């Protein structure tokens, strides 16, 4: 079976590593689902704090460094908002 992780990979400046780049709408699910998981009683606090740090880094990196920047930022923020509202299911309009 042929399988690919992401659509592309980009270098992270000053980090010496590469990250996978997906379609902008995938940020919606990443952020929404993280917020939904934070709300679960079984999610341990250390995981929540680590995931918050990772999401903040992703938000900064992808909205500043990977085009289309504003589209990516919009999807990530919408995912955060929908997670806070406890919305589930497919991304509206897709």
Residue 43 structural domain: 23-84
The band of 1, judged by pLDDT with boundaries at 50, 70 and 90, is low
For residue 46, tell me if it sits in a domain: yes
Report CA torsion sign: 2, 6, 27, 19. positive
For residue 14, tell me if it sits in a domain: no
How far is residue 62's CA from residue 38's CA, in Å, rounded to a whole number?
Answer: 22
Domain count, the chain: 1
Tell me: pLDDT of 28 over 70.
yes
For residue 63, tell me if it sits in a domain: yes
Q: Closest Cα to residue 30, out of 69, 92, 78, 85?
A: 78
Contact between 62 and 27 (Cβ < 8 Å): yes
pTM: 0.86
Helix axes 26-38, 69-84, angle to 10 degrees: 30
For residue 15, tell me if it sits in a domain: no
């Amino acid at each position: 079976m042929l399988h690919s992780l992401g659509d592309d990979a980009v270098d992270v400046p000053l980090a010496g590593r590469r990250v996978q780049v997906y379609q902008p709408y995938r940020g919606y699910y990443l952020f929404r689902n993280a917020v939904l998981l934070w709300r679960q009683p079984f999610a341990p606090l250390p995981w929540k704090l680590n995931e918050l740090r990772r999401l903040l880094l992703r938000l900064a990196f992808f909205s500043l460094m990977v085009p289309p920047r504003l589209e990516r930022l919009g999807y990530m923020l919408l995912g955060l908002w929908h997670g806070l509202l406890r919305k589930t299911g497919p991304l509206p309009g897709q």
